Amino acid sequence: MRVILLGAPGAGKGTQAGKIGERLSVPHIATGDLFRAAVSQGTELGKLAKSYMDQGELVPDQVTVRMLLERLSQPDCRKGYILDGFPRTLEQAQALDTALAERGDKVDRTIYLEVSEAELVRRLSGRWICPVCQTPYHEVTNPPRTPRRCDKEGAALYQRDDDKPETVKTRLAVYFQQTVPLIQHYARQGLLRRVNGEKEIQQVEREMVTSLR
């Protein structure tokens, strides 16, 4: 099953994609995680991506699409995948549609996680991430069992530089301008399901499972 998770920064895409990916036994593919891995490896792609990520802007479509399609060509994606953070522009969505159509495939479902702007800001300001497995925690709504340590890896959690308030403002503006039009794109194809992302994590997961049936 090929699933796209749409939603603003902080909507809970990473949290839910991890859980749903495990349930469906398909990989969770997050373009943000791929870019952050390239940044920490110091590759050319990483250097380029960092200059955009630090500003809260999108990495150019051409670079992003190439990286994503290369990831989707790996053997673990044959049974499907959950995309988190891709596509983020109409051009990216069209590039994905075209690449899939060339192989006679298509996106099976798009889930749009709806969360109010005030809640997004609260979530991003308290987000802590595991540097090893990328699991997101929240200091109030989803704390780890041991303060600031990952439940699975035991690693010290960190806060993303781009989760600081100035960058969050730009990221949300970019989201409303460039990514929101995708809701219509997938609704027109009859693929869109809306899930209320403001409920607690387990409840959102239950509603997502239902909407994937």
The set of catalytic residues is 13, 88, 127, 160, 171
Site for ligand ADP in 131-150 (CB under 6 A): 136-138, 141-142
Close Cβ partners of 101 (under 8 Å, ≥ 6 residues apart)? none
DSSP characters over 123-161: HHHTEEE-TTT--EEETTTB--SSTTB-TTT-PBPB--G
Complex with ligand ADP: residue 31 or 110, whichever CB lies closer: 31
Out of 27, 123, 157, 195, which residue is the one contacting ligand ADP (CB under 6 A)?
123
Check binding of 35 to ligand ADP (CB under 6 A). yes
Name the residue among 56, 34, 55, 54 with its Cα closest to residue 45: 34
How many helices (DSSP H) and strands (DSSP E) are in the chain? 9, 7
> What x-and-dash track marks residues 43-62 binding ligand ADP by CB under 6 A?
---------xx--xxxx---
CB 81 within 8 A of CB 163: no
Query: Which residue ranges make up the site for ligand ADP (CB under 6 A)?
Result: 7, 9-15, 30-32, 35, 52-53, 56-59, 64, 85-86, 88, 92, 123, 126-127, 136-138, 141-142, 162, 171, 200-201, 204
